[in-house]
Structure 1
């Protein structure tokens, strides 16, 4: 039922799953809570880049997990979550795509200005890909000035709000900002950003909360509508889909 575009269930040396066994437990729990498509998105940090050796380990771990959880009805796909860094401005950004989608997931920084993030997003767009901006509701710059998020959405960039934010797990300001963006129709995706058993990749509780406030409009935020379009028609089709979500 659910498409989850953001999780850290594949062991990769970041702050997500530490072992294949832990990753398997997280994946099976996600499936049991209604997720049918789950993107594993290991962090790409300035201090932990995607070297060829690290990428090989990640892809091998993903392949092993994907084979095991297929029997649970879970389609486990691989992408990456970029942290804005100057080095990305010179990188081949297509290597960070979300599976076979023409999209790249990038987080907005929790603190500080958004200028570098905006430049990286423009580079992603210049490469013919769609920026998916992770947890804008947790970024101080957006909390202080929510209009920044609207400007990004109006450029056709997809906003992904965390399920844990709308449930209040990150404090009052991210919760209020998350709901504001949702109610203004600026959000295209709600995702778990699940990391470990203490922060699992679940979407069901958030779905019920959003559906209570937004009605049937919640469905498109959880069923991957914006992403499904990327699989078929690419950038132009996605812009139309994102606009439909925002207008709905």
Structure 2
């Protein structure tokens, strides 16, 4: 398995706190059957800034430690980039990383409470520059929770999405789990990744998510999501199914 979204690099953000923590996370990943992890420290989220050159150095150092420790997991470079206005300019200046370092895909994070007003335009402009935006954990965005039709429009216009393994197995509650299921069913999700931060409160859960996906949706869905992750890392383009319009109906008293 390949994990496209993980905060395993030590001391860069709210993920691994030390080299020992990074090694513990890698051991846990190895037990889950994960062979490659894209390290995606936060960037431009108003708290953390992690530029390409620094991430590449930390990835090289961690891979060296993993080899010495006999842990058979490879770390690849990436970023979880909060959407901001100078995105394209900073990419052209060499500050931003694509998924794995050599693909055309970029992980983009919305603020947790809303979709930025300029999101549609920026996502379109990125595609015009040859980049393929992946919106991370849309199921945990409050505006999308209330108006999933807004995500449909972005996906219809070419954006991709990555749901979190923990969301799919219910770690963040029933409401988020149900929306995650609906996004998968409506072809509004294209990748599953861990977004792991540690081995305790935010572990991987990727193997459990794939097992649940296979049980709930069948072998074809599991193969599709796993193959998509592999396709990105190999530098190719994924296959997308047409999305289905998704609108959550409100229940009595306006409660979901």
TM range (shorter): 0.7 to 0.9
- Asked if the contact 1:207–1:218 (Cα under 8 Å) also holds between the matched residues in 2, the reply is no
Instruction: Name which of structure 1's ranges 91-100 and 39-48 shifts more when overlaid on structure 2.
Output: 91-100
Any idea what SS the aligned residue of 1:131 has?
strand
Unaligned runs of 5+ in 1: none
Q: Give CA deviations for 1:18-55 in whole Å, capped at 9, x if unaligned.
A: 1122111101211111112211100002433335xxx5
1:216 aligns with 2:215: no
Residue 126 of structure 2 corresponds to 124
Residue 60 of structure 1 corresponds to 57
Residue 228 of structure 2 corresponds to 225
Any idea what SS the aligned residue of 2:218 has?
helix
Residue 189 of structure 1 corresponds to 191
- Asked if the contact 2:108–2:134 (Cα under 8 Å) also holds between the matched residues in 1, the reply is yes
Aligned residues: 237
Relative distance call for 1:220 and 1:67 in structure 2 (3 A) is farther
Residue 240 of structure 2 corresponds to 242
Relative distance call for 1:108 and 1:224 in structure 2 (3 A) is farther
TM-score scaled by length of structure 1: 0.85
Residue 82 of structure 1 corresponds to 81
* Alpha-carbon distance in 2 for matches of 1:152, 1:230: 23
Provide the alpha-carbon RMSD of the alignment. Answer: 2.4
Which has a greater percent of helix? 1
Considering only CA atoms, is the larger Rg found in Structure 1 or Structure 2? 2
TM-score scaled by length of structure 2: 0.83
Instruction: Name which of structure 1's ranges 188-197 and 104-113 shifts more when overlaid on structure 2.
Output: 104-113
Q: Which runs of 4+ in 1 moved over 4 A?
A: none
From 124, 139, 142, the counterpart of 2:141: 139
